Amino acid sequence: MSINGGPINGAAINGAYGGGTGGAAGQATMPLTLVVFDNDIAKLPLRLVVGEHAGRASATVSIVVRATGRATTPITMRVIGRGQAGVGIAINVYDPAAFTASGAFSCRIVMGGVDISTRLTGLVSVEADEGAARLADFTFAPAAGVVLPAAWVGQPVTIDYVQAGCLWRLFTGIVDEPVLDVVAGTVTMRCTDNIQRIMDAASRDQIDALTPGGAWSQFLFDIDHLGWDYLQDRALTLCGSLDLSPTGVPRLTSWLASVATRTFTADDILDQTPRVEMAQASALTNRVEISFQARLPLLRQASVPFAWSYGGEGALMFSEGRPFYAPEYEVVRDALDGIGEGWQVNGLYVEHIVVDPGRVRAVSGEMVNRWVQDMTQTYAMTVSAQSSRSMYGDLTDKRSANLSYSYDETAWVDDGRTVQETTPDTTPEMEIETALKTLLLMARHDIRASHRNHRISFSVGLDPRLDVAHAYRIDASGVAATGKAASVAHRLDLDAGTATSEVALAISSSGYSGAQTADALSPPTAPVAAADPVLQPPNLVTQVVKVPISLVYGATIPAPDWDLDGWSAQMIGSISGSVPTYDSWMSFDSKGVVKSGSTVNKTVRVITSISWAAARAEFKVSLPAIDATYIDHVEPQVSADYTIDIPEDEFTLTF
């Protein structure tokens, strides 16, 4: 709590003395701001100290209403909750020798909050496979009385192994299916750790957090996959397994068997002989060819600037005898609009002729054409394990996928041209990169998974510490191997008083002993098509040609080059005549042109003026055709090769 930014009871908190002398006049003011935190109690006791003053002490309270009305500042604070978060820590101190020697044990099972340990009979088993649900079975004899068997389904269950005074959690889950033996009066509970339902309740974000290093693409998996299905998809990109611990905690464990947490010898193994199962060659994969195609819209644009100017008005009107005949705006506009399919004007500048309304002397702007070219990007990638290839040759699998990205072309062709917006991002680069990354990780998963199908299985006296999250070493009967546990099954025979653990180690090996290299599985850079075409701007000229009256009926009539772009006009004179007055030396040809030295046809009217009119006038703009390279379907390609390593676990046999 503070006042005016200073601590309460701080020495600096004093009202300012407002004026006067000796406190006789003036006003002491002390604006107060009380900062109250939400958990504070707001109290502001005030003590007014009036200094010594001759006469009587007085304190005037002045209330000044600055304006009518009321200022309000609503403050809403919603307190959701208060409390402490905590987590208990249970430390089991145990005798490690208890798990390697036969000794008394018991089993504690709590179902639905009720300890039913004393009613157990027969076998209690807990089976855990990496990447799968942990399952448990136990049988018990319900207490006499009426029970509602349907109420058993879904009841929470914990199974603890009790030895040497310590509880060891073997299983945490629920009852999946009660199996009743009415004759024997027992019920066998088939239980699951419920990982599917737990993951079904998790969001994609939560599952992503549980599976770091994994990837997922909607173009490779079912876009509707959520929960457990989504987790299974991501698991295909990992070299590890996600399952629940004996206490029900999700954990992702790597397949790498880097550190063995226990070594088993022949003395530990019950039948002294581990069982070895080798992976089948037909199940091996050491090379994956990946073909990924992404069909995308390639947004194309061609922009061509143009500029036409008639030139100096005065010069054209009065020099070279040429008439001034400028195009009408509509003529120019029609020409620009009629260039060809797809071309439209952008940023048109028009210089009108003030003295000749409707006609223009200059135009400029940009012709823009937008279209969409179909493009299929092809990514050809291979992921291979060189070590395995050197041992087994090429064992190739193929995987292909494609992506098709739909796009409303009108947004680019029509709307985009109008507003000339920045090229929209229609290339789903992130989606493609994610899909490629997912494919690469899946290939590595496939190759490595196929190389860890060797299994070494053995049984030992029950050790509750054994779990599929750990790696173990075995050195017995000529078998020396280290691998991550692929499965662990605990079996407690309560009637016989025996407890065993069966372990199956997954051994990753290709038999290669040399050094290996591994590339980063970074997707290749996207292949690109040619850049947008660059077209030559049109050369817009002005050709206004006057046809001399003498040649109207002649063989060769001057005319503009109609093939040229720009403004072209052919002007024909309209003759005004009068009764000829001429000098005696004058003569005229049949067209009324003065000549000399010949017979004079006096019926011919003498031309007194010519008014010019356009016999033909065109404003023309033409642009070069866009090459088919930029229009037809295009297929840029890129290829990339990746090498991965195969973890070589210890695995030797001595005969």
Partner 1 sequence: MSTTFGFFLDAGLTQPASSGMTINQADDGSTGAVDVQLWFGSTASGKKAQADSNPGVDNIVISIADSAPGTGQATSAVKLALTEGGLDTATAGAALDLGVTQVLSGTSNAVSLWARIQASLLTIGTYTDLSLQTVSLFESAV
Supply the minimum distance, in Å, between the C-beta of residue 227 and partner 1: 11
101 binds partner 1 (CB under 8 A): no
Supply the minimum distance, in Å, between the C-beta of residue 262 and partner 1: 11
**Which residue number, 206 or 291, has a Cβ lying nearer to partner 1?**
206
Give the one residue of 54, 91, 520, 534 binding partner 1; rule: CB under 8 A.
Answer: 91
What x-and-dash track marks residues 144-173 binding partner 1 by CB under 8 A?
Answer: --------------------xxxxxx----
What x-and-dash track marks residues 246-265 binding partner 1 by CB under 8 A?
Answer: -xxxxx--------------
What x-and-dash track marks residues 358-387 binding partner 1 by CB under 8 A?
Answer: ------------------------------
> What residues from 434 to 473 belong to the interface with partner 1 (CB under 8 A)?
465
Tokens 């399919």 — which residue?
341
Question: What is residue 559's three-state secondary structure?
Answer: coil
> What residues from 181 to 200 belong to the interface with partner 1 (CB under 8 A)?
198-199
Residue type, 495: D
Candidates 36-44, 362-370, 451-459, 578-586; binding stretch for partner 1 (CB under 8 A): 36-44
**Which residue number, 179 or 201, has a Cβ lying nearer to partner 1?**
201
Judge contact between 580 and 588, C-beta under 8 A.
Answer: yes
Cβ neighbours of 355 (radius 10 Å):
7
CA dihedral 269→271→274→277, nearest 10 degrees, is -140
The span from the CA of 492 to the CA of 498, in Å, is: 6
Candidates 90-98, 127-135, 278-286, 410-418; binding stretch for partner 1 (CB under 8 A): 90-98
Compute the radius of gyration of the chain from its Cα atoms: 48
Q: Where are the alpha helices (H) located in 483-612, listed in sequence order?
A: none
Give the one residue of 24, 46, 65, 87 binding partner 1; rule: CB under 8 A.
Answer: 87
> What residues from 599 to 638 belong to the interface with partner 1 (CB under 8 A)?
none
- Give the count of alpha carbons within 13 A of 373, CB side only: 27
**Which residue number, 38 or 583, has a Cβ lying nearer to partner 1?**
38
> What residues from 66 to 85 belong to the interface with partner 1 (CB under 8 A)?
77-85
The span from the CA of 341 to the CA of 413, in Å, is: 11
Backbone φ, ψ for residue 579 (5° rounding): -60, 130
Supply the minimum distance, in Å, between the C-beta of residue 463 and partner 1: 11
CA angle centred on 459, ends 458 and 462, rounded to 5°: 145
Tokens 């701080």 — which residue?
10
Supply the minimum distance, in Å, between the C-beta of residue 371 and partner 1: 42
> What residues from 210 to 249 belong to the interface with partner 1 (CB under 8 A)?
210, 212, 247-249
Judge contact between 220 and 438, C-beta under 8 A.
Answer: yes
89 binds partner 1 (CB under 8 A): yes
Per-residue b/e over 287-300, b at no fewer than 16 CB within 10 Å?
bbebebbbbbbbbb
Judge contact between 257 and 232, C-beta under 8 A.
Answer: no
Per the structure block, which two tokens stand in for 7? 């601590």
Binding site for partner 1 (CB under 8 A): 37-39, 77-96, 164-169, 198-199, 201-203, 205-210, 212, 247-251, 465
